[in-house]
Amino acid sequence: MPTTTWNRHHILSLADFSAVEYDTVLQTAASFQEVLSRRTKKVPTLQGQVVANLFFEPSTRTRSSFEIAAKRLSADTLNFAASTSSMTKGETILDTAKTYLAMGTDIMVIRHREAGVPNAIAQEMDRLGVKVSVLNAGDGQHEHPSQGLLDLFTICSLIDPTRPRIELLQGKKIAIVGDILHSRVARSNIWSLTASGAEVHLAAPPTLLPKLFADYFSEETAEKSLVTERLALSGVERSRSAIPNRQLFLHWDLEPALRDADFVMTLRLQKERMTAHLLPSLREYHQLFGITRSKLKLSKPDVKVLHPGPVNRGVEISSDLMDDPEFSLIQAQVTSGVAVRMALLYLIGSGKV
């Protein structure tokens, strides 16, 4: 493990992550990636600690990833699923969290369909003066920091597996395509990728971009700071200067985003959006914004495609492209997820034992 100091107690958002913090996560995750290739994949780091997965919104994939990460650090895990819980009995979320605190939980991994819930729980823990850590596993349309970090790790460790670090992304062009408006994954990725010095291009139909942008016809003239404004509305506190101008570009068409891109991140399309008339049809969406082998010809020859999963095959991405190891990093993202989550649990948890 790297011998850096780590002072962050909760992981709620990437909005104020520093370059050193990004690099510490990347380097720690690289060490765990190496552990995972050994015969003995477990380390005793968090033995005796309790990691509670409080998933108020169901998610098998993310919950399993955190569970396996915790178990490989030898922690005990508790799973809470809202459907079978006393939430239906009228208890508040804060009271549920305090119950798990009182039972001896050391780290709470929290997912909720409302933005700000993990923040609120973390604030309450701090107010109580307890040393429990809160890890945001996705809150509403706000953030999904562990996803942002695993995407970052996937990209950086592709470029340099032994020493992944954000400076590797300096000058790279990265497209984020799809339902930007509703995506916490996009939000977390925008923070980390712009922090790394990459050029980030968002492409989406106007109905799936933050509303204010739709008032601007030309994406080049859009005030970049508006992004920060909109993000702030979702609960992120950060100055407008945080996203430097000229790094974030907005497009209503796919082509300018894909042109010469080094990496293309597609976002999951919630099928509910269509019922809400934000989309004409899945077929038309795929035609306009779905990533295919032929559209990728606009990009760099060694372009790679990412998707946070689960994928709607033939909608966000063509089925053959998804399965093509030459282009697709989708499986690598899942594997990175375990290493990155081990790193996060390790960094916030190892100071406790």
Query: Measured from the CB atom, is 48 or 244 closer to its own copies?
Result: 48
Query: Measured from the CB atom, is 87 or 214 closer to its own copies?
Result: 87
Structure tokens at 322: 């998804």
Q: Do residues 238 and 16 make contact, with C-beta atoms less than 8 angstroms apart? A: yes
Give the contact letters, 294-313, x = binds to its own copies (CB under 8 A), - = no: ---------------xxxxx
Instruction: Report in angstroms how near the CB of residue 71 gets to its own copies at its nearest.
Output: 4
For residue 36, what is the enclosing H or E element? helix 19-36
Instruction: Report in angstroms how near the CB of residue 248 gets to its own copies at its nearest.
Output: 29
Q: Does 286 bind its own copies (CB under 8 A)?
A: no
Q: Do residues 342 and 69 make contact, with C-beta atoms less than 8 angstroms apart? A: yes
Q: Where are the alpha helices (DSSP H) in 135-244?
A: 145-159, 184-196, 225-233
Q: How many residues belong to the site for its own copies (CB under 8 A)?
A: 56
Query: Measured from the CB atom, is 76 or 114 closer to its own copies?
Result: 76
Give burial (CB, 10 Å; 0-12/13-18/19+) of 171. Answer: exposed
Amino acid letter for position 25: V
Alpha-carbon distance 25 to 157, whole Å? 12
Alpha-carbon distance 40 to 78, whole Å? 23
Instruction: Report in angstroms how near the CB of residue 39 gets to its own copies at its nearest.
Output: 6
Instruction: Report in angstroms how near the CB of residue 201 gets to its own copies at its nearest.
Output: 27
Instruction: Report in angstroms how near the CB of residue 331 gets to its own copies at its nearest.
Output: 5
Query: Measured from the CB atom, is 197 or 309 closer to its own copies?
Result: 309
Query: Measured from the CB atom, is 122 or 190 closer to its own copies?
Result: 122
Q: Does 173 bind its own copies (CB under 8 A)?
A: no
> Which listed range, 53-61, 188-196, 206-214, 221-229, lies at the site for its own copies (CB under 8 A)?
53-61
Give the contact letters, 213-252, x = binds to its own copies (CB under 8 A), - = no: ----------------------------------------
- Determine the length of the chain: 353
Give the contact letters, 77-106, x = binds to its own copies (CB under 8 A), - = no: -x-xx-xxxx--xxxx--xx-xxxxxxx--
Query: Measured from the CB atom, is 287 or 331 closer to its own copies?
Result: 331
Query: Measured from the CB atom, is 108 or 257 closer to its own copies?
Result: 108
DSSP, collapsed to helix, strand or coil, labels residue 174 as strand
- The answer, yes or no, to whether the previous bond of 164 is cis (omega within 30 of 0) is no
79: which DSSP letter? Answer: E
Query: Measured from the CB atom, is 244 or 310 closer to its own copies?
Result: 310
Q: Which residues fall within 8 angstroms of residue 18, CB to CB, at 6 or more apart?
A: none
Q: Do residues 254 and 203 make contact, with C-beta atoms less than 8 angstroms apart? A: yes
> Which listed range, 183-191, 205-213, 244-252, 333-341, lies at the site for its own copies (CB under 8 A)?
333-341
What b/e readout covers 220-242, taking b as 16+ CB neighbours within 10 angstroms? eebebebbbebbeebbbeeeeeb
Q: Does 4 bind its own copies (CB under 8 A)?
A: no
Alpha-carbon distance 234 to 64, whole Å? 27
Q: Do residues 228 and 238 make contact, with C-beta atoms less than 8 angstroms apart? A: yes
Residues that bind its own copies (CB under 8 A): 36, 39-42, 47-50, 52, 58-61, 64-65, 67-68, 71-72, 76, 78, 80-81, 83-86, 89-92, 95-96, 98-104, 268, 271, 309-313, 331-335, 337-338, 353
